[in-house]
């Protein structure tokens, strides 16, 4: 008997001589072989990078990590264990090398935004300044928005921030008068939400005035954000969610509460600036419209401002305040500098705050010790690939931003990299300081991808610590367990319980 006859006989045992079953078995076999070959090819493509075995074979490790609430720490552990460029997915790397990140984000970079950014479409059918991957479209949109974000065309930008600082202070005074503990984490977010809504379209939402989660925006956003971040590592989910069958599951502008309610407000506010009876105001939205944003683009950008412009600045404020209050040396030194500063306005002008040496060191150290954004924000290597420090990065590979590893690198920050110590910014040599500051700039990204909201965020930071520490005494209710933190790219921080009392001068 020939080998072919024997094989046919064996196959006949399973197919019972039926051609259709034979074809089905053959197809299953081909599918299995193709799957094994695809996994092997993907594995070997990045096999010169170390990482968890599951991560090299499947996206499941990355999905689980992004959704578990502590991804920023898990990625840091990966870089510590496997090196400054480590593998976290079949086509995904993460780096804790600040030089590599600067290379990726440089002016002449050939890297592009990866499909990670598809998950940043808060409306799956529409792009925004953060989600656009087309270089030309991103540049055009950015050009239309730069003046508004820069504040050049926003009337009373600094006075509006001052007004909301005073509203925050009044809210804390109410708690101090009643001797009630305050969740500083939540109140800081009330403040940043009111600032950005006031600047974006001329009126604060009223979080501070009502001392409440208006429209239940914060609560519903914190519930849905983990799923949003999962779409960044499984981008095809965005296309699935765009299908009419699933669209009903997403937030809608018709919703009475939550993220959908904010979507509706953004759309309505944008609509007011168009048509025959359009409203003309010298706020950020007015600047965007004047420079050519369409009504649909305006609605998308307002929504992005509220999400990205409030959560990140709130994280900086609450995490830095936690470190200030928890470190008596820093607390007393900063208060002494504030007490020696004279100004006649109710809220410190930014021009004066920028010249306070220790304050600036505290702001920088606060951003370093707790970077407000810890999402991968993965960029894609150019088609021909790239070589960095002698290591080849295959074309199309996604490289993520390992924030905790970068900002706790002992090579750059010293043996005390894990310690909150503003003095490091005052003691560094000129060359060392230049390196430290260029690395800190990664928090706001570089060049064409630099955060447009940076000037507004820094203005808030320059004012808020001065006015809080000038007017109040703070202490942590539970220094051993001061807050609850959940991260899925950006942070949710709550139950930062503090006791607050007014100073003798107030």
Task: Tell me the mean pLDDT in the region 344-371.
Answer: 97
User: Beta 92-95 vs 398-401: how paired, if at all?
Assistant: parallel
- The two three-digit tokens of residue 441, written as one number: 């700039």
Helical pair 295-326 and 184-201, crossing angle rounded to 10 deg? 150
Mean pLDDT (the chain, rounded)? 89
Q: What is the pLDDT of residue 11?
A: 43
- pLDDT for residue 154: 86
* In contact, 361 and 327? CB cutoff 8 Å: no
State residue 159's pLDDT score: 96
**Spatial contact of 182 and 322, defined as CB atoms under 8 Å apart:** no
Answer whether 467's CB lies under 8 Å from 345's CB: no
- pTM flag (> 0.85): yes
490 Cβ partners below 8 Å, 6+ apart?
225, 308, 311, 312, 315, 372, 373, 374, 375
pLDDT of residue 7: 45
Q: Which of 57, 3, 65 is nearest to 402 (CA)?
A: 65
Answer left, alpha or beta for residue 389, where phi above 0 means left and psi between -120 and 50 means alpha. left
pLDDT reading at 460 higher than 90: yes
Give the span between the Cα atoms of 407 and 424, in whole angstroms.
13
Instruction: Express the helix, strand and coil content of the chain in percent, nearest 5 each.
Output: 60, 10, 30
Distance CA(151)–CA(163), nearest Å, equals 16
pLDDT at position 6 over 50:
no
Q: CA-CA distance, 349 to 345, in Å (whole number)?
A: 7
For 300, residues 6+ apart whose C-beta sits below 8 A from its C-beta are: 122, 123, 126, 127, 128, 266
- Phi, psi for residue 420 in degrees, rounded to 5: -80, 105
pLDDT band at 14 (very low <50, low <70, confident <90, very high): very low
The answer to whether residue 244 scores a pLDDT higher than 90 is no
- Compute the average pLDDT of residues 224-250: 76
Residue range 14-25: average pLDDT? 62
- Residue 13 — pLDDT band, cuts 50, 70, 90? very low
> In the chain, where are the structural domains located?
46-502
366-409 tens-digit pLDDT: 999 999 999 899 999 999 999 999 999 999 999 999 999 999 99
For residue 451, say whether it is annotated as part of any ligand binding site.
yes
- 60 token code pair: 């499941």
Q: Which residues contact 100 (CB under 8 A, 6 or more apart)?
A: 84, 85, 388, 389, 399
Specify the DSSP class assigned to residue 141: H
Residue 249's Cβ-count burial label (10 Å; 0-12, 13-18, 19+) is exposed
pLDDT score at 4: 45
pLDDT-derived band at 3, boundaries 50, 70, 90: very low
Question: What confidence score (pLDDT) does residue 8 get?
Answer: 45
> Which DSSP category does 409 fall into?
-
46-502: CATH, from 3.40.50.1370, 1.10.630.10, 3.30.450.40, 1.10.10.60: 1.10.630.10
Do 246 and 253 meet the contact criterion of CB atoms below 8 Å apart? no
Helices (H), 254-387: 258-272, 284-290, 295-326, 328-339, 350-353, 357-369
DSSP 8-state symbol, 315 = H
Q: What is the largest CA-CA distance in the chain?
A: 104
Sorting pLDDT into bands at 50, 70 and 90, what band is 264? confident
The model's pLDDT over 414-438, given as tens digits with 9 standing for 90+, comes to 999 999 999 999 999 999 999 999 9
């Amino acid at each position: 008997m020939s080998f072919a006859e024997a094989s046919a006989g064996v196959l006949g045992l399973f197919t019972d001589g039926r051609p259709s079953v034979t074809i089905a078995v053959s197809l299953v076999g081909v599918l299995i072989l193709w799957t094994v070959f695809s996994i092997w090819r993907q594995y070997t493509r990045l096999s010169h990078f170390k990482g968890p075995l599951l991560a090299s074979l499947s996206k499941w490790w990355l999905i689980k990590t992004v959704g578990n609430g502590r991804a920023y720490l898990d990625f840091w552990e990966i870089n510590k264990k496997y090196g400054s460029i480590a593998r976290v997915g079949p086509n995904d790397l993460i780096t804790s090398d600040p030089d590599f990140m600067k290379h990726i984000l440089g002016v002449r970079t050939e890297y592009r935004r990866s499909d990670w950014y598809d998950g940043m479409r808060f409306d799956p059918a529409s792009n925004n300044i953060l989600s656009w991957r087309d270089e030309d479209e991103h540049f055009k949109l950015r050009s239309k928005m730069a003046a508004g974000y820069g504040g050049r065309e926003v009337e009373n930008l600094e006075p509006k921030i001052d007004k909301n600082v005073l509203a925050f202070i009044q809210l804390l005074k109410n708690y101090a008068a009643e001797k009630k503990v305050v969740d500083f984490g939540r109140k800081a977010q009330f403040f940043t939400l009111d600032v950005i809504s006031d600047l974006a379209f001329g009126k604060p939402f009223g979080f501070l005035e009502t001392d409440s989660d208006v429209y239940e925006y914060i609560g519903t956003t914190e519930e849905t954000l983990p799923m949003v971040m999962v779409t960044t590592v499984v981008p095809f989910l965005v296309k699935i969610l765009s299908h009419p069958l699933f669209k009903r599951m997403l937030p809608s502008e018709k919703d009475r509460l939550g993220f959908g309610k904010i979507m509706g407000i953004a759309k309505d506010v944008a609509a007011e600036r168009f048509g025959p009876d359009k409203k003309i105001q010298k706020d950020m939205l007015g600047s965007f419209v004047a420079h050519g944003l369409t009504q649909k683009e305006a609605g998308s950008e307002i929504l992005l401002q509220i999400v990205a412009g409030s959560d990140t600045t709130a994280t900086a404020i609450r995490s830095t305040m936690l470190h200030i209050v928890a470190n008596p040396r820093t607390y007393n030194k900063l208060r002494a500098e504030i007490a020696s500063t004279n100004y006649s306005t109710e809220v410190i002008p930014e021009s004066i705050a920028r010249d306070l040496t220790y304050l600036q060191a505290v702001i920088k150290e606060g951003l370093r010790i707790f970077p407000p954004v810890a999402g991968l924000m993965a960029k894609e290597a150019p088609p021909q690939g790239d070589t960095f420090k002698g290591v080849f990065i295959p074309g199309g590979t996604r490289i993520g931003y390992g924030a905790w590893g970068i900002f706790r690198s002992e090579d750059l920050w010293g043996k005390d990299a894990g310690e909150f110590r503003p003095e490091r910014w005052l003691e560094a040599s000129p060359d060392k300081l230049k390196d430290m500051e260029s690395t800190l700039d990664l928090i706001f990204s570089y060049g064409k991808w630099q955060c447009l909201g940076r000037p507004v965020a820094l203005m808030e930071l320059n004012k808020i610590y001065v006015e809080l520490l000038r007017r109040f005494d703070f202490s942590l209710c539970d220094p051993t367990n001061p807050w609850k933190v959940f991260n899925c790219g950006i942070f949710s921080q709550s139950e930062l319980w503090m006791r607050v009392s007014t100073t003798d001068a107030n």
